[in-house]
Amino acid sequence: MNDELFRGGFELSPIGMALLTPGGEIERVNPALARMLGYERPESLTGAPFESIAHPGDLARRIGSGNGNGAGGPSEQRYVARDGRVLDVLVATNVVRDEQGKPAALLTQVEDITERRLAERRICELRATLEQQVSQRTSELQAANHELEAFAYSLAHDLRAPLRAIDGFGSALASRHGDTLGTDGQQLLDRMRGASSRMGDLIDSMLLLSELTRRELSYTRIDLSSMARHIAEELASTYPSRQVGLAIEDGLEAYGDASLVRILIGNLLDNAWKFTEHRGGAEVEVARAGEGVFSVADNCAGFNMEFADLLFKPFARLHREDEFPGTGVGLTTAERIALRHGGVLWGEGRPGVGATFYFTLDPATDGERP
Amino acid sequence: MNSSKPILLVEDNPDDRDLTIMALRDANVANQIDLARDGEEALAYFADRSRPLPALVLLDLKLPKIMGLDVLKRLRAEERTRTVPVVVLTSSGEETDRQRSYLNGVNAYVRKPVGFDEFSDAVRELGRFWLVINQPPPLPVP
């Protein structure tokens, strides 16, 4: 080996290096190793036994333990610095042989990996804490979810039963004691029964809303045009007095859960129909408004865009109950159905001019508002 | 359209019990309506072999002591009661309740509507089908 070249590399290397006698005594260390161990001058270590820098706990497996050549690595070991700090190091040792092939020296290269190990340990600790936090949050969420489900179930069972009693006994009162009640009494009774039936509707629509988040979607290809036509026919027979001009574009198709999409379109059409009440020449249109974007438009009551956010809040209403009756859950339900499919639903309106609601059912068309 | 055999109504809520009886009487579908106020009473009713089997069981799901679904399972497991028509009459519209009821051999599942008029219609239809229509054909006159 070219001595000068070796010496230059030894002195300038950023890697810690030591030359040991075959017996394990330090012959020389380079400045990088001296710095690593906290010595100002490399000469300070010359002549010291290798054991003096090795961690006592690692002595059994230290390099140069007299196993014949002492070569090996790279392996992880611990060194002790001058001030007692324990260093994690990566060590590789070569045997330097003389002309006869007998070991003349051991060349040890040392890389300080203390910081890296520390960072790794921190990452491990963090990961453990994180996993613990995630599982804690998950179980908290699950508990909250179970509570909500129990709440919905209780709504279904326990709140509906008294309503049935109010309506049922009201009906019995009307039929058995109608004469005594008189016209006024009968009317009051009718209003009580009407109220219980509206509350029943409210409970049912809340239940539907809560079911939407739980239920699994079963996807099929849906003919939206014929679905809309069926719903419109039902609406026409529910409100026979309304004269509504209806235009449904042909060939509207989507991919989604048919029974949920039916509720979505049903709610939008029902809304449009409802707001035709105080108006002649009402028109409702179902059409394609872009690639994968569908719209349901009417030319009736409309709404102020300032309050558009309120539309999708459950039980929030933009019109007085005596103007247009309703539960205030229809649009929330429709929006949630679109969201469950990965789509979106939004509305545009002008008071007295009309309202248009747009929806998509496909995440790919998300946000492409015309 | 009367049936000589009784209807058994299994219902714990006294309001619901009276409403169902009112609806059955309005529909004029049964002479006799027997009552069980929880699952245990329902099973005791069937354990008494001196009693004729009812023409129809109207079964609530949420019952004290023994739940409706367990009453249904027991009835379907017994040879004697295996074919007694059982209709679940419940507040619950939960899909799981509906599925479990049918998986355990219920004949029909009816969710009690809030409005009495609709409820009355439903009970009338049930009575008409299970007590009148779904009967063996009359024996041929020799």
pLDDT digits (tens, 9 = 90+) for A8-19: 888 888 899 999
Q: Residue A103 contacts by C-beta under 8 Å, 6 or more apart in sequence? A: A22, A69, A70, A95, A96, A97
The pTM assigned to this predicted structure is 0.58
**Per-residue pLDDT at A279 exceeds 90:** no
Structure tokens at B3: 């049936």
Chain A residues with CB inside 8 Å of B118's CB? none
φ, ψ for residue A368, nearest 5 deg: -80, 75
Of the ranges A125-134, A243-252, A318-327, B38-47, which one carries the lowest mean pLDDT score? Answer: A318-327
**Per-residue pLDDT at A116 exceeds 80:** yes
pLDDT in tens, A328-368: 678 888 998 999 998 999 988 888 778 889 999 987 764 44
Neighbours of B3 (CB within 10 A): 18
pLDDT band at A278 (very low <50, low <70, confident <90, very high): low
DSSP letter for each residue of A180-220: HHHHHHHHHHHHHHHHHHHHHHHHHHHHHHHHHHHSPP-EE
Neighbours of A52 (CB within 10 A): 12
Under an 8 A CB cutoff, do A160 and B91 touch?
Answer: yes
Under an 8 A CB cutoff, do A161 and B117 touch?
Answer: no
3-state DSSP call for residue A163?
helix
Q: Residue A76 contacts by C-beta under 8 Å, 6 or more apart in sequence? A: A88, A89, A90, A91, A113
pLDDT in tens, A121-147: 999 999 999 999 999 999 998 888 888
Q: Taking Cα atoms as reference points, which of A209, A152, A228 lies closest to residue A337? A: A209
φ, ψ for residue A166, nearest 5 deg: -60, -50
Q: Residue A369 contacts by C-beta under 8 Å, 6 or more apart in sequence? A: A290, A293, A346, A358
Q: What is the pLDDT of residue A369?
A: 52
Closest-CA distance, B116 to chain A, in angstroms, reads 5
Q: What is the pLDDT of residue A212?
A: 79
d(CA A22, CA A105): 5
Q: Residue A255 contacts by C-beta under 8 Å, 6 or more apart in sequence? A: A219, A220, A221, A222, A361, A362
More confident residue, A148 or A71: A148
φ, ψ for residue A107, nearest 5 deg: -105, 115
pLDDT in tens, A172-194: 998 889 889 888 999 999 888 88
Please compute the mean of the pLDDT values over residues A81-90 and round it to a whole number.
Answer: 91
Q: What is the pLDDT of residue B1?
A: 46
Under an 8 A CB cutoff, do A165 and B91 touch?
Answer: no
d(CA A208, CA A229): 23
A196 touches chain B (CB under 8 A): yes
pLDDT in tens, A196-236: 888 888 888 777 777 777 778 889 999 999 999 999 998 88
**Does an H or E element contain A268, and which?**
helix A258-274
A260 touches chain B (CB under 8 A): no
Sign of CA dihedral B69, B74, B75, B79: positive
pLDDT in tens, A35-85: 999 998 888 888 888 888 888 877 655 544 443 345 677 888 899 999 989
Chain A residues with CB inside 8 Å of B18's CB? 168
Highest mean pLDDT among A300-304, A308-312, B129-133: B129-133
Under an 8 A CB cutoff, do A164 and B117 touch?
Answer: no
Judge whether B86 and B72 are in contact, CB under 8 Å.
yes
Residue where the block lists tokens 């324990």:
A86
Q: What is the pLDDT of residue A222?
A: 93
**Does an H or E element contain A356, and which?**
strand A354-359
The share of chain A scoring above pLDDT 90, in percent, equals 28
Q: Which residues of B touch A (CB under 8 A)?
A: 13, 15-16, 18-19, 22, 62, 91-95, 112-117, 119-120
Judge whether B137 and B8 are in contact, CB under 8 Å.
no
Judge whether B64 and B86 are in contact, CB under 8 Å.
no
Q: What is the pLDDT of residue A118?
A: 92
**Pairs across A and B, CB distance < 8 A:** 60
Judge whether A19 and A106 are in contact, CB under 8 Å.
yes
Q: What is the pLDDT of residue A152?
A: 74
B-proximal residues of A, 96-155, CB under 8 Å: 153
Residues written for chain B? 142
Of B16, B92, B95, the CB nearest to A164: B16
- Enumerate the β-bridge partners of residue A72: A93
Q: Which site among A155, A158, A163, A164 would you substitute to test the B interface, given the most B Cβ atoms closer than 10 Å to its Cβ? A: A164
Under an 8 A CB cutoff, do B116 and A157 touch?
Answer: no
Q: What is the pLDDT of residue B3?
A: 53
d(CA A294, CA A290): 7
Q: Which site among B112, B116, B121, B123 would you substitute to test the A interface, given the most A Cβ atoms closer than 10 Å to its Cβ? A: B116
Q: What is the pLDDT of residue A293?
A: 92
d(CA A338, CA B117): 35
CA dist A220 → A103, A296, B88 (Å): 78, 22, 31
The one-digit pLDDT tens for each residue of chain B (142 residues) are: 445 789 999 999 999 999 999 988 888 876 799 999 999 999 999 999 999 999 999 999 988 889 999 999 999 999 999 999 999 998 887 788 899 999 999 999 998 888 888 888 888 888 888 887 777 777 777 6
How far does chain A reach from its first CA to its final CA, in angstroms?
A: 77
d(CA A317, CA A325): 10
Closest-CA distance, A156 to chain B, in angstroms, reads 6
d(CA A352, CA A350): 6
d(CA A22, CA A325): 98
Under an 8 A CB cutoff, do A157 and B62 touch?
Answer: yes
**Per-residue pLDDT at A168 exceeds 50:** yes
d(CA B133, CA A154): 36
φ, ψ for residue A27, nearest 5 deg: -90, -45
What mean pLDDT value characterizes chain A? 83
Of A153, A161, A207, the CB nearest to B13: A161
The residue of chain A nearest to residue B116, with distances taken between CA atoms, is A168
d(CA A87, CA A76): 10
Chain B residues with CB inside 8 Å of A153's CB? 92, 94
Judge whether A335 and A347 are in contact, CB under 8 Å.
no
Of A167, A170, A207, the CB nearest to B93: A207
**Per-residue pLDDT at A289 exceeds 60:** yes
Helix axes of A258-274 and A224-238: crossing angle, nearest 10 degrees: 40
**Per-residue pLDDT at A149 exceeds 80:** no
Q: Taking Cα atoms as reference points, which of A277, A298, A270 lies closest to residue A286? A: A298
d(CA A293, CA B48): 65
**Per-residue pLDDT at A247 exceeds 50:** yes
Structure tokens at B20: 């169902």
Helix axes of A114-154 and A160-214: crossing angle, nearest 10 degrees: 150
Q: What is the pLDDT of residue B92?
A: 80
